[in-house]
Structure 1
Amino acid sequence: MAQQHIEHEQGVKRELKTRHLSMIALGGSIGTGLFVASGSAISKAGPGGALIAYIGIGLMVYFLMTSLGEMATYIPVSGSFATYAGRFVDPALGFAMGWNYWFNWAITLAVDVSTTAIVMHFWLPDVPGWIFSLFFLLVIFIINILSVKSFGETEFWLSIIKVVTVIVFLIVGFLTILGIMGGHGPAIGLHNFTIGKAPFVGGIPAILSVFVVAGFSFQGTELIGITAGESATPETSIPKAIKQVFWRIILFYILAIFVIAAILPYTSKDLLGSSAGDVAISPFTLVFKRVGLAGAASIVNAVILTSVISAANSGMYASTRMLWAMSKQKIAPKVFSHVNRHGVPVAALLMTTVVGLFTFLTSIWGPQIYLFLVSASGLTGFIAWLGIAISHYRFRKAFIRQGHHLSELHYHAKLFPVGPILAMVLGILVIVGQDLHAVQNFDWQALGISYMSVPLFIILFVYYKLRHKTHLIPLDQVDLSKADQD
């Protein structure tokens, strides 16, 4: 039986290739945050402020990915950063991060399937939304229960659609800026970078608020750590994927924000409303309409639908693998460690689906419960990033303390210890800056909604620490063995 379990694990690991890993990480970070909410970032902080925020978060994410890459190539496990936190820092931190992250993605899955209904209403306004949501939840469940390969292939092709859309958008955008497309008047150039209070609007507080928007846009890139344990060749595929993701993030996000800011002035009422999720005023729709592209709204809506399905698909996969990994570490019920003959952890998948379904149903029956659950998962992605940075800092320190040499590592994180320290500082900054307005005005209700994830994380951490009397693991006792702990 034990041998069979190992074979299932190994069978899963052989199925994710480099192209899957890079597209999963990239696809996870290109979604509605770019296609819809990017406009609100420009309207809040101006073109310069939005660019600074996205560049700052882009750098933070890059350092986090290199940190995760160094650990994942040395000890590739599906539980990834929750496992690393438990082994390199404190078992209580691993427990809190694992359950926190599972909860986050299970709720996000529900948010995404609810969003599919909103997107489908663009074409079929008279069909009840719950029908679309349940249909897409079933489709995503089937994709994930078949095999890890079916998940990888689905993500690959959904990501291709998003990438092609962004490339076409950038080409059209730059031709419009140069005056080659989009009318017969003079070239727009960088005029919109200098109108009104541009390029920086609202000063540092505005840039900080956009840091949060940018951070949510980039969430999902850490999925590369979750997939590490199921990669055929983690030593080579993970470094390649991380390198590709960095350049693609710079290319797609920074250039896309630049194009939107150059073509649409930050004073545009359409940009201000883009945070509401209306595809008709997506910055991408507005730019395509400007050059006379027929059916721009329908095309962008279709792409947004693929983004939402991709995000839900990734959420299902990430939360399932996290629950499975926690079960193996004995910090979740044993039943979740079972895998079928295709290497899929069925019990963990069913549990995640049930939580996602329950959360979705509360959006119909009890909107207040739904909003509570969504708020409770709000900052968990940033908490996970913070945990990755802390874990890597401790990993490298323990590695050297125990007499190892850097030459033993398959992949070296860039600029250690500057990288993880910078990621920690920016992570704390984003978490604290989640709702500065509520902090300044002592709005306790808004504070409770915005920062709910933090006390939930602390409760999980303290509960495990008190129950099991754990402590910060001394550097010379950190477990650096490559075998995954059962």
Structure 2
Amino acid sequence: MTMMAIGGVIGGGLFLGSGAVIHSTGPGAVFSYALVGMFMVFIMRMLGEMSTVYPSSGSFSTYAHNEIGPWAGYTIGWLYWFYWVVVITIEAMMAGMIIHEWVPSISIGMIGFLCIVLLTLTNIFSARLFGEFEYWFSIIKVVAIVSFLIIGIAMIFGLFPHIEKPGVSNLLDRGGLMPNGFGSLLTAIMVVIFAYPGIEITTIAAGESPNPQKAVMAAINSVIWRILVFYIGSVTILVTILPWDSSSALKSPFVTVLDMLRIPGASLIMNIIILVAVLSVLNTGIYTTSRMLYSLAEKGDAPRVLLRVTKKGSPIWAVLGSTVFSLVALVSSTISPDKLYLLLINAIACIALIVYIVVALSHVRMRKRLERDNPEALIVRMWLFPYLTYFTIAAMVSVLIAMALIETNRSQLIATLITTAIVLASYFLTKLKKRSSDQIKSDEESYRAIK
């Protein structure tokens, strides 16, 4: 749990997505990562406060169900599940592209399929095996990032004689810190949010740990420095060493930096580390979707068969159900990449923001209730409550409004809102159907009694 808290947030979005953010935003990309990172800290603090009081594998879906209403828990749970189903597909495609470079005889889609199947098997066997994989994945990622930071700082200070000292030329001499204007900062935020995958997953996994409060405390205590070091630190080094307007250099920026050292095999090592990061997120995604499905089934919001677990405690049908949908999405990426797959990508673009808004709203209601009824239960407290929580809600809503005003992001917002409306409508239809079924059963029983 500790290693998940430290390294679990590092995914392919940092290693591969950072190049696109830097290319569109310039050196100001650091501000995008810092701004989103700040709100991630606030969200994690809220979740930490709630999770130490009520540890649950359903996490924020359970809190939304209890504090806002069953409809909120249902909607946010299924949206989050759908989000991770598509993320699993994206990470599988990334893994496929990396391995395809080494084994071109096997297609990207087939490699992605095999990655999903193999990591599904680790999740089926036991939660402990998932934890073992994630433990080693996290160690590799942390060592890699720390090593990169040390090498990058040495390059900036001119400690490698065969590399020209960059100084501040890449920061100031190519249009300044914001060469594409302030609007590019807002556009980049959506990509950056996608680069922080699973920062909240430790609060889901805590429900299966022997000491949930300790696990959550470890996660929230480390979140500030790991965002500062791993994300903001890495991106600061990248924008200092590499020119922001070089699309070729930023295609895979971490690999480009190591190639500058002219160390044999450096780029291969970096690509292996990126592959590990991608597989880590894929592994985490399978775990997360299955636990969310299991939690939904517990509340009657998903089929009861999903509650079946193996002897080692793994919810086998929830794992397989999530995997099947991820494989269907993977197939769509090969047969209809420009239509169906693109629609899936757009549909999840803002789901993270919607989830975080609901987390904050749940936190407000739970905190007020606990302060009134059981204040001693509050082991972790959100800073400056309720002002900082309201500020976070306002900021998230502002990003959604900004997306509606920015033409390039409008279609993503519309797709996500339509997806949300469909899920919400399915809740009321399901409840209406259940109510009709219960009424018919009641009428039949009454008829038998009279007869």
> With structure 2 as the length reference, what TM-score do the two structures score?
0.90
The 8 Å contact of residues 88 and 286 in structure 2, kept in 1 or not, is answered as yes
Task: Return the offset for 1:20.
Answer: 4.5
Task: Report the equivalent of 1:125.
Answer: 104
Query: Helix, strand or coil: the match of 1:430?
Result: helix
Helix, strand or coil for the counterpart of 1:453?
A: helix
- The amino acid of 1:453's aligned partner reads T
Counterpart of 1:87, as a letter, is: N
AA matched with 1:22:
A
The offset of 1:369, in angstroms, is: 2.2
SS of equivalent residue, structure 1 residue 162: helix
1:94 match: 73
SS in 2 for 1:342: coil
From 363, 370, 374, give the equivalent of 2:345: 374
Aligned partner of 1:111 in structure 2 is: 90
Q: 1:350 to 1:247 in 2, by over 3 A?
A: same
Question: Do residues 413 (structure 1) and 382 (structure 2) align?
Answer: yes
| Contact kept in structure 1, 2:4 and 2:138, CA below 8 Å | no
Alignment of 1:290-439 (within 5 A): 290-367=260-337, 368-401=339-372, 403-405=373-375, 407-434=376-403, 436-438=405-407
Cα deviations by residue, 1:43-96 (Å, 9 ceiling, x for unpaired): 22221x212111111110001001001101100010010110011112111110
- Structure 1: segments with no counterpart, 5+ residues: 1-17, 275-280, 440-445, 470-486
Rounded to whole Å, the distance in 2 between the matches of 1:361 and 1:213 is: 24
* 1:171 matched to 2:154: no
* AA matched with 2:342: L
Inter-partner Cα distance in structure 1 for 2:243 and 2:196: 24
Change (3 A) 1:184 1:404: closer
Gaps of 5+ in 2: 433-451
Contact 2:297 2:303 in 1 (8 A): yes
Q: 1:37 to 1:110 in 2, by over 3 A?
A: closer
Q: 1: CA distance between counterparts of 2:29 and 2:145? A: 18
8 A contact 1:320–1:345 mirrored in 2: yes
Q: 1:110 to 1:33 in 2, by over 3 A?
A: closer
TM-aligned CA deviation for residue 436 of structure 1? 4.9
Are positions 1:19 and 2:2 aligned together? yes
8 Å CA contact 1:44, 1:201 repeated in 2? no
Alignment CA distance shift 1:123-1:382 (3 Å): same
Distance 1:454 1:314 in 2: 26
Question: 1:235·1:411 contact (CA, 8 Å) conserved in 2?
Answer: no
The offset of 1:345, in angstroms, is 0.7
Query: What aligned pairs does 1:235-274 form with structure 2 within 5 A after superposition?
Result: 235-271=213-249, 274=250
Listed one character per residue, the Cα deviations across residues 451-483 of structure 1 (whole Å, up to 9, x for unaligned) are 3112221332355357759xxxxxxxxxxxxxx
Shift in Å at residue 434 of structure 1? 4.2
Amino acid at match of 1:301: N
Answering whether residue 117 of structure 2 is matched by residue 138 of structure 1, we say yes
Identical aligned residues as a percent: 32
Aligned to 1:453: 416
CA apart distance, 1:437: 3.8
Q: Indicate which of 152, 164, 170 corresponds to 1:192.
A: 170
In structure 2, relative to structure 1, the CA distance for the partners of 1:264 and 1:293 (3 Å cut) is same
The DSSP-based 3-state class of the residue aligned with 1:57 is helix
Q: Provide Cα deviations, 1:139-183, integer angstroms capped at 9, x if missing partner.
A: 111110111011111011111111111111111111111011262
Equivalent in the alignment of 1:474: none
The equivalent of 2:19 in structure 1 is 39
Q: For residues 92 and 151 of structure 1, do their structure 2 counterparts lie closer, same or farther at Cα, with a shift above 3 Å needed? A: same
Residues 61 and 74 in structure 2, CA contact (< 8 A), matched pair in contact too: yes
Note the alpha carbon deviations across 1:166-214, whole angstroms, 9 max, x for none.
11111111111101126264x3222322113211222221111121121
Q: Write the distance in 2 (CA, Å) between the matches of 1:138 and 1:315.
A: 13
3-state SS of 2:160 partner: coil
Instruction: Give the conservation status (yes or no) of the 8 Å contact 2:202–2:215.
Output: no
User: In the alignment, which residue of structure 2 is the partner of 1:7?
Assistant: none
Q: Distance in 1 between matches of 2:201 and 2:186?
A: 25
Query: Would you say 1:30 and 2:1 are equivalent positions?
Result: no
2:195 alignment partner, SS class: helix
Moved over 4 A (4+): 465-469
User: Partner of 1:13 in structure 2?
Assistant: none
1:449 shift after superposition:
4.4
Name the structure 2 match of 1:14: none
Q: Which residue of 2 aligns with 1:74?
A: 53
> Which residue in 2 is equivalent to 1:216?
194
Q: Indicate the SS of the match to 1:294.
A: coil
Q: 1:93 to 1:283 in 2, by over 3 A?
A: same
- Contact 2:19 2:252 (C-alpha < 8 Å) held by counterparts: yes
- Give a deviation string over 1:205-241, Cα, whole Å, max 9, x none: 1111121121111131011221121121112221122
Residue 248 of structure 2 aligns to a residue in which SS?
Answer: helix
Report if the CA contact (8 A) 1:393-1:417 is conserved.
Answer: yes
Amino acid at match of 1:70: E
For the aligned residue pairs, the C-alpha RMSD in angstroms reads 2.0
Q: Distance in 2 between matches of 1:81 and 1:170?
A: 34
